[in-house]
Structure 1
Amino acid sequence: MGLAIPALRYLVREHLRKPFDGPVLTLGRQCVYATLADVQDLMRADGLEPRPVVSDDVRTNIPSWRDGPYAHFTSDRAFWAALARLDVYALDISEYERPDFMWDLNSPIPEELIGRFGLIVDGGTIEHIFDIKQALMNINRMLRSGGRIIHMSPMSNYVEHGFYQFSPTVFFDYYGVNGFGGMGCTVADQGVGDSSFNEWYFREWNPLRPEAIVSPHPLLLVFRAEKQPSSTWETMPLQGDYGRVRKAQEAERDRLQQFGRLLGAVRASRPVELAVYGAGENGRLLVRELREIGAPVRCFVDSNERLWGQSIDGLEVISIDAAADRGVVAYAIGSLASASSISRRIRDAYQGRLAAPEIFSVQ
């Protein structure tokens, strides 16, 4: 159970997407495969100034690391303090790594842990718990309303690592049928060698268009979900939660039909390159459709400055002013409801420049 630099970077970007609220509970004390300087550098690389860390937390808090080759690495407490001054607690089945709470997640959690945490991070625990149903219900109950769960769980090529390797549907279906929101999943190809020190290669997982992923490397799924005031914990899903999936697929078909005219206009115009305005769900869907027709998509443009500099589906997210400065002169608008106002915003950004931008939208 540990956090390599790619996992730490994911957590930083998830916090930038929507700030975490504490306290944090980790399932198992998390080994951090990075120095404090590494942690601070990756935060600054994403535009986040790290917060001060008290000296007692700088050094690793993994007992077996204190005198070994990993003694120079930092602690999980230092990471969460630098990120957002969040208090972090660990739960484990044994006292080996000095957790704050000792409990076997095969058994129902005690009352004092119910609704206690704003974020729970499973950095590689539930695959080792035989009663996966009870483990998920326990995690759910320990979250308070508005809290988030993040699972980093083996998906493939982890034979004999634990009891299980997971398909994304396990998490989408359980949390979905219990009324969680904000669900998303990324698959990480962890490359050759020791995944604690490799670079990982991320790709978004679309539950409406599942695909076969063949890789000789370990594959990790990273899943997030947010508990709602009306969320339940005891409802058991059917695989695919067929009614929900069918409705979502119908909604996606409707969006694709609305994109039809836009895609036809792009085919006819054949721009040298274009940006997609809007890095949300509709924008990502539009990028996929544009790529299928061979359109040269260069980047995302979005008004949310927390996204600037991030990479989504292999495309950098930048501001409209940055796009204009880079000479982007064609835009496809992913929004179905605000295309007119976005078109005006784009044109305003290009006032006084040599060329007016070409804009493709559903309207």
Structure 2
Amino acid sequence: MAIGLGALEYLAEMGLLTPSTRMLDVGTQNLYNAAPERITAFLRKFGRSLEPLQIEEAAGRISRASIVRPGERTAFLADLLDLTEIDYVGYDVCPAPRTDIFDLNNDHIPRDRRGKFDLVLNFGTTEHVVNQLNAFEVIHDALRLGGVVMHQLPSVGYVDHGYFNYNPLLLNDLAQINRYEVVDRFYTAAGSGGFHSDGLDVRDPDHMNTAHSAGAPQTLPNFNVNYVLRKTVAERFRIGLELRTTHATLAEQVAKNYRDAPQRSAASLIKRKLKFWHG
């Protein structure tokens, strides 16, 4: 999980990152490939009373650490933000600077931090988490009213990364049912991968017993989907049901679960179903 300075510069230009921002990093990010001159520019804007020589030293040190070298510590986003007034905390299952140990599969936002964050970053984190419901509910609960989350998630390609690739339909529906304002949305290129990394071949659907029966490119382009969403109502997190790609009529006993979705939280729906299943 990593972030580049381009994302921080984008957020600053959008007015979503300021010296007084309270930021939650869902999955503590490494800082990759940060050029010294761009770190210098960032610290001149956000740094706290740093002398020019201090900025120059920090820019060189952090830039060098932002390049992955086997056996050496890679820079964290916290290393940069420690030199600013930005109030930063990361949630992760692995110890790291300015990080609280937090399991997105099971943990919930502590009461004293609910609705406290101006900005939440989900940069390539939730695709590694099986419990998607809890992960997105954590993000929702962390945001203050008017706060913004930026998701940067694997979408196209990525045949060998994480558990999930994200369709914009999911993020569009989450925005609609939770009444988030869509501030921005776009794709970004993210290198390439290939079909054969996990030993899988590609087969013709009419000849599935024949290995390698369909041609396939050696590499595939990877693209991240980026969504910037603003929380506009102080209500519980809710889920929807994706029906635009179905070719059948939804059963009435299921439809009634979603007919009053604006009045039902995701947690209450799941808990009700668990009670039904287990008596």
* TM-score (structure 2 length as normaliser): 0.63
Residue 103 of structure 2 aligns with which residue? Answer: 104
Check 1:146–1:111 CA distance in 2 against 1; reply closer, same or farther (3 A cut).
Answer: same
Tell me if structure 2 keeps the 8 A contact 1:39–1:79.
no
Partner residue of 1:217 out of 217, 221, 234: 221
- In 2: Cα distance, 1:112 partner to 1:101 partner: 14
- In 1: Cα distance, 2:12 partner to 2:41 partner: 13
Tell me if structure 1 keeps the 8 A contact 2:154–2:165.
yes
Tell me if structure 1 keeps the 8 A contact 2:2–2:123.
yes
Tell me if structure 2 keeps the 8 A contact 1:173–1:241.
no
What's the offset of the Cα at 1:174?
Answer: 0.9
What's the offset of the Cα at 1:92?
Answer: 0.5
Residue 272 of structure 2 aligns with which residue? Answer: none
Tell me if structure 2 keeps the 8 A contact 1:187–1:221.
yes
- In 1: Cα distance, 2:244 partner to 2:17 partner: 29
Residue 33 of structure 1 aligns with which residue? Answer: 32
* TM-score (structure 1 length as normaliser): 0.50
What's the offset of the Cα at 1:57?
Answer: 6.8
Residue 125 of structure 2 aligns with which residue? Answer: 125
CA RMSD of aligned residues (A): 3.6
Match status 1:151 vs 2:161: no
- In 1: Cα distance, 2:183 partner to 2:46 partner: 28
Cα displacement string for residues 226-273 of structure 1 (whole angstroms, at most 9, x for unaligned residues): 111x2433321232789xxxxxxxxxxxxxxxxxxxxxxxxxxxxxxx
Residue 174 of structure 2 aligns with which residue? Answer: 174
What's the offset of the Cα at 1:65?
Answer: 8.5
- In 2: Cα distance, 1:33 partner to 1:27 partner: 17
Match status 1:141 vs 2:141: yes
Residue 9 of structure 2 aligns with which residue? Answer: 12
Please give the secondary structure, in 1, of the residue aligned with 2:78. Answer: helix
What's the offset of the Cα at 1:172?
Answer: 1.7
- In 2: Cα distance, 1:42 partner to 1:220 partner: 26
Query: What stretches of structure 2 of length at least 5 have no aligned partner?
Result: 194-216, 246-279
- The residue type equivalent to 1:106 in the other structure is N
Check 1:33–1:65 CA distance in 2 against 1; reply closer, same or farther (3 A cut).
Answer: closer
- In 2: Cα distance, 1:162 partner to 1:104 partner: 16
- The residue type equivalent to 1:10 in the other structure is A
What's the offset of the Cα at 1:34?
Answer: 3.1
- In 2: Cα distance, 1:49 partner to 1:91 partner: 27
- In 2: Cα distance, 1:64 partner to 1:16 partner: 22
Tell me if structure 2 keeps the 8 A contact 1:158–1:218.
yes
- The residue type equivalent to 1:77 in the other structure is A
Residue 214 of structure 2 aligns with which residue? Answer: none
Q: How many residues align?
A: 210
Percent identical: 21
- In 2: Cα distance, 1:176 partner to 1:123 partner: 21
- In 2: Cα distance, 1:149 partner to 1:125 partner: 13
Match status 1:239 vs 2:242: yes
Tell me if structure 2 keeps the 8 A contact 1:57–1:77.
no
- Written as runs of structure 1 = structure 2, the 5 A alignment for 1:86-105 is 86-95=86-95, 97-105=96-104
Tell me if structure 1 keeps the 8 A contact 2:152–2:226.
yes
Check 1:77–1:172 CA distance in 2 against 1; reply closer, same or farther (3 A cut).
Answer: same
Tell me if structure 1 keeps the 8 A contact 2:32–2:67.
no
- In 1: Cα distance, 2:153 partner to 2:2 partner: 11
- In 1: Cα distance, 2:121 partner to 2:128 partner: 15
Q: Indicate the structure whose relative CO is greater, using CA pairs within 8 Å and at least 6 residues apart.
A: 2
